[in-house]
Chain A
């Protein structure tokens, strides 16, 4: 099944649950909560995404030692390639 079909399936399913929940005989306060549930869900998902994204950025490993190791390897390669006459000195 295509990804969009799966996504729409979920959307229709959730909409049906929400519309059914709106028909329930509940207190006024609960009814308002159910009415606002989609907005609350979207906001919660937004907060979750931002937190997860920031966590991901802050834990994105900085590895300066790998930059230094590469520089050493490049210098080694350059010396040999220059000696072989493949790269010009300098």
Chain B
């Protein structure tokens, strides 16, 4: 699998001082083992817990050219964090994942293989196919996740099994193009970017991943998020 391509990982953070160190360590291990060229871009929204101090220590260990700190003055949202990080990315491909370790870096070689096999523009991690799954979710959480995906799949017909997943690999030019069009936030953002990608004929491959909820119930999903999601879905129904 060795290739000349470079992979940029975008990690938006807010108060992740311990997780950013752990995920960086696991990313470096994975990239070194699979002989991939990499860089990590941390987009930190002025975390008060010292996340940036830890990133600076990590930079001394792994190099400032490998680990890039793209700080922002305050909490400004996920979508704009990706745009901010993308400006600094020098990779041919961009990997987006959660910094809280619910996405294990060990799946990245699977993403790379799937991308190469299909020459795909996007590879998305899915919890819903054989080999994928979750750890730490109760019936209600599973029902909400399944329900949201079932509803969106029925209404929008995107042809992708895990519309709300946020562990993905993008061809950089494709992500730049899509980011310029997307306006949603939260779970709806992951859905919007995929729906627009399919509309424009970009190829999407899927790889199974296991999502691990380390702090049970940490991934917040209240009524507010559900209402946002449904609004986002209806908006996509009428505008795309």
Please give the residue numbers on chain A whose beta carbons come within 8 Å of chain B beta carbons, in ascending order. 2-4, 7, 49, 52-53, 56-57, 60-64, 66-67, 70, 73-74, 77-78, 80-81, 84-87
Contacts and interface: CB of A to CB of B under 8 A. Distances in A.
Contact of B146 (A57, A66, A73, A78): A57
A67 B212 CA distance: 6
A54 B212 CA distance: 22
A86 B54 contact: yes
A2 B135 contact: no
A52 B150 contact: yes
Given A3-B237, A4-B237, A60-B146, A87 B21 contact: yes
B25 A60 contact: no
B51 to A, nearest CB: 12
A19 B21 CA distance: 65
| Chain B interface mostly | helix
A74 B214 CA distance: 11
Interface of B: 18, 21-22, 25-26, 29, 54, 57-58, 61, 101, 104, 106, 127-128, 132-137, 139, 142-143, 145-147, 150, 154-157, 210, 212, 214, 236-240
A57 B214 contact: no
Contacts, number: 89
A57 B139 CA distance: 7
A77 B19 CA distance: 10
A66 B133 contact: yes
Contacts of A84: 61
A2 B137 CA distance: 36
A21 B133 CA distance: 46
A3 B231 CA distance: 15
Contacts of A80: 25
B40 to A, nearest CB: 14
A77 B25 contact: yes
A7 to B, nearest CB: 7
